[in-house]
Amino acid sequence: MKTQFHKLLLLAFAVPVLLSSCKKSDESADEKFSSANDPQLKTDLVYCGTPVVSPMVDFAQTISPATVSIGNDATQLLVKYQITDNSWFLYNPRLFVGTEAELVALGIINPNSLNPDGSVYINNTSLIPNSSFNGSSTTYKEYLFDLSALPACVIVIAYAELRKTTGERAYVFGKSTMKRDGYYINYCVQQCETPPPPVCETAYAFGGSVANCFLNISGVQSTNWGWSNGPIGAGSYSWPMYAGAGLCNIENGTHV
């Protein structure tokens, strides 16, 4: 059964640090994170329920050049970043998936910083794990998580620094160079529908003019339909098989 969940569809977007040069640093990956695929390689899950798809916006909500989608199958959670305005590219996406306690422990937010309207005060976006730096052709990025390592409901902070080949950057609304406001998403793992049990039927070969229905054979006491075929001579024979042909009526059955 599909379970509907309440979702706050909001995203983290923020102002990057203003430095004359940026050096790529090694980031510690979230322990629940399993793999970040090649930027242009896409994974297609058979989702349980319906994925959450939300626009990525700056805090003032003046631009929306990308989307993020969150969904799961029976074993994995998939988060996808997708550029929708091709004048931008994904320079530095950063992603957190976990609990409020983990956010506080990592120093990303202070206690009680998650506001009911979906906004959050982020202390330092560089602390958000699962990060990559990408070239100008990158318009897509995805992250896979093992559901067995996640609680039933998680907080998702999907942040990204976007750039244009002209040098323009999507950074707005920074309280300081190291503190930013952004958004978060509440996501609960959706349950997969239980497939129906397989339907089993009995099938018999029907030999046409040499087929003898069990119900009509003298001396055979049976309430089951089906055929005994013969007598026949030596040779090779090919006969159709029918399932569910009650009372030996092939019009009631299915040719298998």
Show which of 133, 155, 188 is a domain's final residue: 188
Q: Count of domains in the chain?
A: 2
Same domain, 183 and 212: no
Which one has a higher pLDDT value, 182 or 103? 103
The overall average pLDDT reported for the chain is 78
Instruction: Give the model confidence (pLDDT) of 197-253 as tens digits.
Output: 777 888 999 999 999 998 888 888 878 898 999 889 898 999 999 998 888 999 888
Q: Is residue 251 part of a domain?
A: yes
Task: Please give the residue range of the domain that contains residue 73.
Answer: 33-188
Q: Is residue 15 part of a domain?
A: no
Same domain, 181 and 127: yes
- The fraction of the chain above a pLDDT of 70, given in percent, is 79
Band (pLDDT 50/70/90 cuts) for residue 21 is very low
Q: Are 69 and 52 in contact (CB under 8 A)?
A: yes
Same domain, 121 and 246: no
Q: Is residue 241 part of a domain?
A: yes
Q: Is residue 28 part of a domain?
A: no
Q: Is residue 198 part of a domain?
A: no
Same domain, 134 and 239: no
Same domain, 46 and 78: yes
Same domain, 51 and 166: yes
Same domain, 109 and 153: yes
Same domain, 218 and 176: no
Q: Is residue 172 part of a domain?
A: yes
Instruction: Give the model confidence (pLDDT) of 141-175 as tens digits.
Output: 999 999 999 999 999 988 999 999 998 887 522 22
Q: What is the structure's pLDDT at 24?
A: 35
